[in-house]
Structure 1
Amino acid sequence: MGDKRISDNIEQALNDQMNNEAAQAQAYLALGVWAEANNYTGIADFFYKHSEEERQHMFKFLEYINTRGGTAKIGAIAAPADNPTNLKECIEDVWQHELENSKKIYALVDQAMAERDWATFNFLQWFVKEQIEEEALIDGLRDKFALASEDKANNANFYSLDRDMQGASQEGELPRQAEL
């Protein structure tokens, strides 16, 4: 192990975020269990995969802290929130989780900039981009849920059309030549 190249404050903040990522992984895992128990198998699969992604984020922080000469410290993780009462609440909870996580990442970026820790600032840019993607993904899920569930005529059909168009060919079919 080499010399420590991050401040104690940055080390602590990164450890806090590493443990936050672990808590996020647990929250998604719990929501996946809830979704599966309520027969939302596709949503459960989405949440299970997202749980693993959050766990990978945790490892990125762990590796970075240790690589910079700090010490990653695994902390206790609070139990996830109680199960949602319905799917809309579930999706809105996820939305709030991602917005809060973005704020935490942005605070870390601000701290790295204030300390002129350019290596950490650079490391965190990946997470800034990731949070932009996460927010877009979950906001899209919110839109799909609204389209599939809100009481408007034909919404279910629009949802099905949108799903069908996602994998549709960009090529038109030519009519067959009639045989004479």
Structure 2
Amino acid sequence: MLSKKMEQALNDQVKWELWSSYLYLSMSSYFQDMGLVGFANWMQVQEQEEKFHATKFYNYTIERGGRIKLQTLEAPENTWKSPLIAFQETLKHEQGVTARINALMDLAIKEKDHATASYLKWFIDEQVEEEANVQDVINKLKLVEGNPSALYLLDKELAVRVFTPPTTAA
């Protein structure tokens, strides 16, 4: 059984993951409008991952006897000055998600909630991958800055990304 404090923290995380999904959908639309369908695809895959994460937190909360209380989502930004800035904002956002997951782990440890601490390990590892994936795109965007032909090739590369849900439950 979850403590009320942990239940609230997990509900807040469900909201955060859903808002992350909303943000990446907005970024996908921004890239679609620019004609960068590969970049849009990358963000749509990211959006699917965030919905998957929200669902995992939702299900876990219920499995542990908690109650889900969905919260209002604020509208995300819908324009950025450049693809590079959009991805820099993405990295900043993912670093914020990492901090939130770490705070959940700290709470689980403080409350001696070993099941939740064990559960959160998957998300901690996932955030390392999330930040690295975004940083990889940022590095490439910096390399192609000012070169439309190279941006076109990077767009083609990002178009092949697909969402593959993990096969093992965490």
TM-score range for the pair, normalised by the shorter chain length: 0.7 to 0.9
1:140 aligns with 2:123: no
> Over the residues paired in the alignment, what is the CA RMSD in angstroms?
1.7
1:104 aligns with 2:100: yes
1:71 aligns with 2:73: no
For residues 22-61 of structure 1, the aligned pairs below 5 Å read: 22-61=18-57
Q: Give 1 or 2 for the bigger CA radius of gyration.
A: 1
Secondary structure at the counterpart of residue 79 of structure 1: coil
Query: Identity of aligned pairs, percent?
Result: 32
Query: 2: distance between equivalents of 1:8 and 1:113?
Result: 15
Is residue 30–residue 78 contact of structure 2 (8 Å, CA) maintained in 1? no
What residue number does 1:129 align with?
A: 125
- Give the residue type in structure 2 aligned to 1:134: E
Greater RCO (CA < 8 Å, at least 6 residues apart): 2
What residue number does 2:80 align with?
A: 84
Query: 2: distance between equivalents of 1:82 and 1:54?
Result: 18
Q: CA deviation at 1:81?
A: 2.0
- Give the residue type in structure 2 aligned to 1:61: F
**Deviation per residue, 1:82-107 (Å, 9 max, x gap):** 41121111111101100111000000
Query: 2: distance between equivalents of 1:150 and 1:68?
Result: 52
**Deviation per residue, 1:97-135 (Å, 9 max, x gap):** 001110000000000001000000011111001100001
Q: Structure 2: any 5+ residue segments left out of the alignment? A: 158-170
Give me the TM-score of the superposition, normalised by structure 1.
0.80
Give me the TM-score of the superposition, normalised by structure 2.
0.85
Structure 1 residue runs of 4 or more that deviate by more than 3 Å after TM superposition: none
- Give the residue type in structure 1 aligned to 2:45: K
